[in-house]
């Protein structure tokens, strides 16, 4: 029997919503999500209830899944981030918040008396995760770059050295894309002669940029971390938020539980998991490869450099961290902020030069800022 058609009023509402989103996408410059993707060949998979329930490495009685594809995605990221060839585990998440929650969850299960340290520029969701997990924590000051204040971290860990440190690090803070010096942090903990510690790395955006930039800082498993999270809908691009989490397998093995109902292991945060997003990530990885992503990263860096110069030409002090696609500048007027969807915090704003951000968009933004500063309307 044919399905009933949508009422005309509802169809108009969808059409209007589409037009609204299409219009807003043309001035989408303040958030780290690429719009440069095309997954049309995968649309046929939307006809099925694909569900990657449970552990991606364990079979399940729910066989309408893409777990094999998911494993290939995780393997690619493991190689990219120098994880131990036989000692890693991971899965495709619904985004960075879940990946960070998982890393903290692992740390809590491994170090029950641990103390979490994270910088004041860490993503807002982390403090929420800490409340959910009921983990004791201390916020550390940050440097002007957005990096964690290493002296404050050292002294705070030293004062609380009776508790194993769980250090939450950032490879690209939210507002300034500051990158914590993880080798320095690792050395610091060893210098304090602390036998047990855990380092999680939030590499939501930077994890897909630094690997493709020459002379970028060391930040991944080669630096001694225990787990990391990278977003998929940011640099890679996806119509559905997603990401990956990677961890040392020996840690995950300690929390795994067998679930008879679905015939698989319970090792992830959620039970049912998205089976479509692994397809998106796999498709992009196969389509672009290392060289394609390298070209994208270099393009984004070049656009960020152009943006700093464009701001400076009209007397605005803009800056960016090395290897960063985030351009920081004084908080713009509300009219500019609203039109360009610019993220602000305190007295600063930023734009993020993802793949879809062009130099003509930068020029138009700068012209709007200049016009607004003399009282002219922003169109």
Among 262, 285, 308, the domain boundary falls at 285
6 within some domain: no
379 within some domain: no
The two beta strands, 227-231 and 165-170, are unpaired
**Do 308 and 354 fall within a single domain?**
yes
* Domain at 126, CATH number: 3.40.640.10
**Do 145 and 230 fall within a single domain?**
yes
Q: What is the rounded CA–CA span in Å between residue 258 and residue 265?
A: 4
The structure tokens 């971390």 sit at 225
Among 257, 285, 313, the domain boundary falls at 285
Question: Tokens at residue 244, please?
Answer: 């990956």
What's the total number of domains in the chain? 2
What DSSP line would sit under 283-333, residue for residue? HHHHHHHHHHHHHHHHHHHHHHHHHHHHHHHTT---B--TT--EEEEEPPP
User: Which residue range forms the structural domain that includes residue 61?
Assistant: 42-285
**Do 314 and 365 fall within a single domain?**
yes
The two beta strands, 88-93 and 243-248, are antiparallel
**Do 122 and 228 fall within a single domain?**
yes
Is the distance from CB of 178 to CB of 210 less than 8 angstroms?
Answer: no
Helix ranges restricted to H, 150-271: 150-159, 182-191, 249-253
So what's the pLDDT on residue 254? 81
Question: Tokens at residue 243, please?
Answer: 């990401």
Question: Tokens at residue 61, please?
Answer: 């009685």
**Do 266 and 141 fall within a single domain?**
yes
Is the distance from CB of 243 to CB of 230 less than 8 angstroms?
Answer: yes
* Domain at 363, CATH number: 3.90.1150.10
Question: Tokens at residue 38, please?
Answer: 């095309």
So what's the pLDDT on residue 264? 59
Q: Active-site positions?
A: 324
Tens digit of each residue's pLDDT, the chain (379 residues): 356 789 999 999 999 999 999 999 999 999 999 999 999 999 999 999 999 998 999 888 899 999 999 999 999 999 999 999 999 999 999 999 999 999 999 999 999 999 999 999 999 999 999 999 999 999 999 999 999 999 999 999 999 999 999 999 999 999 999 999 999 999 999 999 999 999 999 999 999 999 999 999 999 999 999 999 999 999 999 999 999 999 999 999 887 764 444 455 778 998 899 999 999 999 999 999 999 999 999 999 999 999 999 999 999 999 999 999 999 999 999 999 999 999 999 999 999 999 999 999 999 999 999 999 888 878 7
Among 229, 258, 285, the domain boundary falls at 285
5 within some domain: no
**Do 219 and 314 fall within a single domain?**
no
Question: Tokens at residue 169, please?
Answer: 């690090």
Q: Is 117 helix (H, G, I), strand (E, B) or coil?
A: strand
Total-model pTM = 0.94
């Amino acid at each position: 029997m044919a399905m009933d058609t949508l009422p005309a009023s509802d169809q108009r509402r969808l059409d209007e919503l589409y037009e609204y989103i299409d219009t807003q996408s043309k001035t989408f410059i303040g958030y780290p999500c690429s719009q440069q993707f095309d997954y049309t060949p995968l649309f046929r998979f939307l006809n099925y209830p694909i569900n990657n329930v449970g552990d991606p490495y364990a079979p399940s009685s729910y066989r309408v899944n893409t777990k094999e594809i998911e494993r290939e995605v995780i393997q690619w990221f493991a190689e990219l981030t120098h994880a131990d060839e036989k000692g890693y585990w991971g899965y495709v998440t619904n985004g960075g918040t879940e990946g960070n929650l998982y890393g903290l969850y692992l740390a809590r299960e491994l170090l029950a008396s641990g103390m979490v340290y994270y910088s004041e520029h860490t993503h807002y969701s982390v403090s929420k995760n800490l409340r959910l997990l009921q983990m004791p924590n201390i916020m550390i000051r940050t440097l002007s770059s957005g990096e964690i204040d290493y002296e404050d971290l050292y002294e705070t860990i030293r004062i609380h050295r009776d508790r194993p440190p769980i250090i939450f690090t950032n490879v690209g803070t939210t507002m300034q894309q500051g990158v914590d010096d993880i080798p320095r942090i690792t050395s610091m903990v060893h210098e304090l002669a602390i036998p047990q510690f855990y380092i999680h790395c939030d590499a939501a955006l930077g994890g897909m940029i630094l690997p493709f930039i020459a002379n970028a800082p060391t930040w991944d498993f080669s630096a001694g971390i225990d787990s990391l999270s990278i977003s998929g809908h940011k640099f890679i691009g996806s119509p559905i938020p997603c990401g990956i989490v990677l961890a040392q397998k020996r840690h995950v093995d300690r929390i795994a539980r067998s679930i008879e109902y679905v015939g698989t292991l319970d090792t992830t945060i959620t039970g049912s998991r998205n089976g479509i997003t692994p397809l998106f990530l796999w498709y992009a990885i196969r389509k672009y490869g290392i060289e394609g992503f390298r070209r994208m990263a270099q393009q984004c860096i070049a656009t960020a450099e152009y943006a700093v110069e464009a701001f400076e030409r009209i007397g605005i002090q803009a800056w960016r961290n090395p290897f960063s696609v985030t351009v920081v500048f004084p908080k713009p007027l509300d009219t500019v902020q609203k039109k360009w969807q610019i993220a602000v915090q305190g007295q600063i704003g930023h734009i993020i030069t993802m793949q879809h951000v062009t130099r003509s968009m930068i020029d138009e933004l700068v012209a709007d800022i200049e016009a607004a500063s003399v009282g002219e309307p922003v169109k």
